[in-house]
A and B are shown apart, each in its own frame.
Chain A
Amino acid sequence: MTALLALRGVDLGVGERRFCRQLDWTIQPKERWAVLGPNGAGKSTLLRALAGLHPVNGGEIWLEGSPLGRLSRRAVARRVGILFQEQEYPFPATVLECVLAGRTPHVAFWAPDTAEDHQWAWDALRETGLEALAHRQVDTLSGGERRRMEAATLLVQSPRLMLLDEPTNHLDLGHRIGLLRLLVRKTEEQDGAMILVLHDINLASRFCDHFLFLFGSGESLLGEQEQMLQPALLSRLYRHPMRAVRDGERLYWIPT
């Protein structure tokens, strides 16, 4: 089985700062990864690098067995979708228009939007509960509604690998769980995988089976949930003592 994404000896940094050194990381279909780390540890930059939007300083990234750098933007966009931490919309556009843009990698670049494209967009709007807002201007949406719209765009793009940078920003508690469940279901239908950057360990432990820690010093650590979610390790990661609270079967992590 070909790995969905494979990193071999990847060095990543910006300026003087090093985010990871000699990182070997393999993401198999059906895996769900959480990337945790303190502010400025390079989590967002790493996600961008995985989408081919940021150059790596060394090493190689392979997407479904092909070197990422050799694939066209279009070929990458059909397989990898990314939800950015922040997204600006300086020109007017409606929710439907934004969501329709998700079809771009799947249609000819000159083609107008077809009925099929609209079907995709409306399905995604329905699943994210945004049907009623389809013709609203994007800058009239609340932060949470806009986040759901961006998730809907990702559903229309329907990549096998979803890269989600703090996907639950601005979302209320109910929508956090609802949106992540929806995205998990969609990746499973595609035999895909997802990588989430999160600050909420409890949300991460609920949805992710694998973890990658970026310590901010260039050191990184990865593994399965049981071996990664340890008090000592998490305390070192956040430079603050962390402890677990048990409720029935589940462990919850809180800063002391």
Chain B
Amino acid sequence: MSIQKCEPVSSLTPWFRQGGQGAVLALLLLVACVIFLAALSVGGMRGGVYGVWDLLTGQGDGLLGRVIVELRLPRALGSMGVGGLLALSGVLMQVLLRNPLADPYVLGLSGGAAFGAILALMAGGSGLWVDGGAWLGAMVTMVMVFWLAGGPGGWERGSRLLLTGVVVASGWGAGVSFLLYWMPDERLRGALFWIMGDLARGGDPWPSLVVLCVVLACVWPFSRALNLLVTGPARAASLGVAVTPVRLALYLLSSLAAASAVATAGSIGFVGLVIPHLLRLVGCVNHRVLLPASALLGGALLTLADLLARTVIAPQQMPVGILTALLGAPVFLWLLHRSLR
């Protein structure tokens, strides 16, 4: 398989060159704000728009106000953070592997995190132990995939890496099934969360938001180096990029981003793949814009997906990971099909 190409929509491209890039960021920021407010307003209790307005003008109390502040706000913040992290780690992995199909879910990181978390649950751990297990699982997977798919020219061979990732992911899947089979019934529900990817756990949204800001602040100044790295380590080095330290940093930061996202919300698929691809399709290829734009759009779209997941079959709620995987799988197949042509 050759490395996947994505052609920008040509009519938009010249507009980007003429200073449209700032406008794109402003537009995405606006979209993110609208979706964020919608996520606060919509839910089982009606009249949310007024509730949000009341809160903003400082007179929000009563039940609706508490529902918004204590339930919807942390969830919306969490989905913004997790979506941003997934999209950002997708971009970084794609740079690192020079392959637009790289994504934490496809490479098996989410599977590793789920295995680690469920193993910690089985061992009777809770809270930090489980998060730590997810973290460790993601990190181990990252090392494994990169090491197995490495070797001379290995990282640049898209097929080898994807195959390794897919096989590692299915290995983790089998491990998870094994654990679930032996798991006592009363713990099964908590374990399912890690497989499906759900924002309903109501965890603290701040760690993911903080990690998102830290990772973005660390990589954004290196946009120029990232633009060069996608054309190959040799060319980047010949133009003065210190390739080895930059790649090591990218590797650590993309793992950090993916692992924090998974530890907060379980394995949510394909966000890291679809978001950067969408942006590149409209001509947003410079990492100076692509990095912040991916974080914004990833957060916005995951929040929207979560909003849909908890409203379409209300009063039932669906884990958001099911929705993104349902939408992401066909998109991924379409991209793969295009790259094989």
Contact = CB atoms under 8 A, between A and B. Distances in A.
Interface stretch (B49-57, B130-138, B229-237, B249-257): B229-237
A248 interface: no
A42 interface: no
Contact of A90 (B5, B13, B14, B238): B5
A73 B241 contact: yes
A100 to B, nearest CB: 9
A198 B17 CA distance: 38
B225 A90 contact: no
A35 interface: no
A4 B327 CA distance: 58
A107 B10 CA distance: 30
Please classify how large the interface on chain B is, using the bins under 10, 10 to 19, 20 to 34, 35 or more: 35 or more
Interface residues of A, number: 37
A64 interface: no
A92 B6 contact: yes
Interface stretch (B171-179, B280-288, B295-303): B280-288
Contacts of A90: 3-5, 98-100, 230-231
A112 interface: yes
A135 B98 CA distance: 23
Nearest to A113: B224
The main secondary structure of chain A at its interface with chain B is mixed
B7 A137 contact: yes
Interface stretch (A18-26, A81-89, A124-132, A189-197): A81-89
A110 B224 contact: yes
Interface in A73-111: 73-74, 76-78, 80-82, 84, 87-94, 96-98, 101-102, 104-105, 109-111
Contacts of B4: 90
B246 to A, nearest CB: 9
Contact of A53 (B14, B100, B228, B237): B237
B245 to A, nearest CB: 10
A94 B4 CA distance: 17
Interface of B: 3-8, 10, 13-14, 17, 98-100, 221-225, 227-228, 230-232, 234-235, 237-243, 280, 283, 285-286, 288
30 contacts: A48-B234, A52-B237, A73-B240, A73-B243, A74-B242, A78-B240, A81-B238, A82-B238, A84-B235, A84-B238, A88-B231, A90-B98, A90-B100, A90-B230, A91-B100, A91-B230, A91-B231, A91-B285, A92-B5, A93-B227, A94-B13, A96-B17, A104-B224, A104-B240, A105-B239, A109-B225, A110-B221, A135-B14, A135-B17, A137-B7
